[in-house]
Amino acid sequence: MSEVLMYGFLTGMVMSFMLGTVFFALVQNSIDYGFRTGVFISLGVITSDLILIVLSWFNAELIPQGSTTDLIVRICGAVFLLLYGFSNLLKKEKAAYPKTEKKQLAKFMSMGFLLNILNPGNYIGWLAVTTQLKTVARYEVTEAALYFAGAIGAIFLMECLIAWSASFLKPYITDRFLQLVNRLIGVLFIAFAIALFFY
């Protein structure tokens, strides 16, 4: 069980490093309004992640089990990771921060929730993970719950750390820094895809 929790925690750490609108919202609002604001944005993010996990779990039920299905799932998962990896290698993201106005904690929680749940890539990512757990790893419900608890815990922890260190991070979040991080993530995803092909 401890291994399942650790795998989930590692998954959450990788997902939390996928820089996007949530990251910039965390940095900017934490600088403007303090660490507490970043915590509420993070709470909104993990709330939406829980909804996406539940949806992906029931949608994964539609995929039949069997050796052929295992192969198809691995191939589809590897192709998804390859596409995501190459897109990270090729994209040129700018260090653009959203504007913040009024200090309202409910507003910031809603911001994190909407920024996360309206990104279709998040649902596809959770569906890929869930399908892998159910059809290939054959996780029981209790094991999957522990895995997702580790993932959600890691995402929340990492985002709180980002919010806490926001005042130190902002000067270093340049276009070049984002390009380097995107390339690193791209290489990691491609490596995961190759490993999945030979699983």
The pLDDT, as a whole number, for residue 129 is 86
Find, among 123, 87, 109, 89, the residue nearest to 42 by Cα.
109
- pLDDT, residue 43, reads 95
Q: Residue range 117-138: average pLDDT?
A: 79
Q: What is the DSSP letter of 137?
A: S
The most confident of 15-24, 109-118, 131-140, 152-161, by mean pLDDT: 152-161
**Torsions phi, psi for 15 (to 5 deg):** -65, -35
Higher pLDDT, 91 or 109: 109
Helix (H) or strand (E) segment spanning residue 143:
helix 141-164
Mean pLDDT of 4-12: 90
Burial (0-12, 13-18, 19+ Cβ within 10 Å), 161: middle
- What is the average per-residue pLDDT within 59-74? 60
Most confident region among 19-28, 72-81, 137-146 by mean pLDDT: 137-146
Rounded distance between C-alpha atoms, residue 186 and residue 190, angstroms? 6
pLDDT higher at 56 or 147 = 147
What is the average pLDDT across 172-178? 74
In this prediction, residue 94 has a pLDDT band, given cuts at 50, 70 and 90, of low
Domains of the chain, by residue range, sit at 2-197
Checking if the pLDDT of 87 tops 70, the result is yes
The pLDDT assigned to 68 comes to 60
pLDDT at 13 (0 to 100): 87
Distance between CA 8 and CA 150 in Å, rounded?
5
Q: What is the maximal distance between C-alpha atoms in the chain?
A: 54
Flag whether pLDDT at 119 surpasses 90.
Answer: no
Please count the helices (runs of H) and the strands (runs of E) in the chain: 9, 0
CB atoms within 10 A of CB 144: 20
**Comparison of pLDDT for 138 and 119, the residue scoring more:** 138
- Report H helices in 91-140: 105-117, 120-131
How far is Cα 132 from Cα 126, in angstroms, rounded to an integer? 10
- Residue 98 is predicted with a pLDDT of 57
